[in-house]
């Protein structure tokens, strides 16, 4: 699918690499990045990781149909609260953080109050060097991604987030010898110590081998809610 505007909130290694991958794959009409320092604005544009970088958070998210939080986890709540009033109704917000429970609990209701949809995600990619100077579109070449919807998630938003990561991560595109469904999946709650291996007849789609998602229903309840078809 094609997005009109994708906003990257925080343009470091992951944000910059995402920007390059999005632009390389022509997934959006415009990619805009929010940064905190003036020197980073020129650097981002010189490296071509975004179409435009700005110090204005609200301007960065205005009219964006997809917003990706790439800041440190400890900054996500504050940044989200500042930009919520400028997020357009129906926009989708996701993140790249490795911690999910606290992020989901804080951000899902915050963006719902603004008429937007938050769907957590975690692309498992990284590099030895940090910062936008180390950004590369190939960062995701061997990555898998966890998507963590809840019972309150909008199904269409979940599907669109999945489509986005399928377009970014080469391993998600299927291809010869790759099945689109497994009979066994790793179902991951936002808290890793609650993870379980379960087997059931109609598993969710996997992403790069696994489809991780939040287990918001009681363990005593055998069937999870339907996430996507």
With a cut of 60, say whether residue 133 has pLDDT above it.
yes
The class (CATH top level) of 3-126+143-199 is alpha beta
Give the model's pLDDT for residue 35: 93
* pLDDT of res. 114: 96
Residue 213 has a pLDDT of: 39
Residues 6+ apart with CB under 8 A from 115: 87, 88, 89, 90
- What three-state secondary structure class fits 72? coil
For 5-26, what is the mean pLDDT? 91
At 199 the pLDDT is 28
Q: Is the model's pLDDT at 87 over the cut of 70?
A: yes
For residues 118 and 128, the model is more confident at 118
| pLDDT tens readout for residues 145-185 | 888 888 899 999 999 999 999 888 865 443 322 323 222 22
The string of pLDDT tens digits covering residues 28-66 is 999 999 999 898 998 898 888 999 999 999 999 999 999
Bridge partner residues of 145 (DSSP): 123
């Amino acid at each position: 699918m094609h997005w009109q505007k994708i906003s990257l909130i925080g343009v470091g290694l992951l944000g910059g690499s995402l920007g390059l991958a999005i632009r390389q794959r022509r997934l959006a009409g415009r990619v805009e990045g929010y940064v905190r320092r003036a020197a980073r604005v020129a650097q981002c544009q010189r490296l071509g990781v975004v179409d435009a970088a700005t110090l204005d958070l609200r301007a960065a998210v205005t009219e964006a149909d997809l917003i990706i939080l790439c800041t440190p986890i400890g900054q996500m709540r504050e940044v989200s609260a500042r930009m919520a009033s400028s997020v357009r109704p129906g926009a989708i917000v996701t993140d790249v953080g490795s911690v999910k429970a606290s992020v989901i609990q804080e951000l899902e209701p915050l963006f719902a109050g603004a008429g937007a949809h938050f769907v957590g995600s975690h692309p498992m990619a990284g590099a030895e060097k940090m910062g936008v100077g180390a950004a590369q579109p190939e960062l995701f070449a061997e990555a898998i991604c966890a998507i963590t919807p809840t019972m309150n998630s909008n199904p269409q938003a979940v599907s669109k987030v999945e489509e986005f990561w399928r377009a970014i991560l080469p391993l998600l595109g299927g291809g010869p010898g790759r099945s689109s469904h497994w009979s066994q999946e790793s179902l991951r709650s936002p808290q890793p110590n609650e993870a379980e291996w379960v087997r059931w007849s109609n598993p969710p789609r996997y992403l790069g081998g696994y489809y991780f998602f939040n287990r918001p229903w009681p363990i005593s309840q055998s069937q999870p809610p339907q996430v996507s078809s």
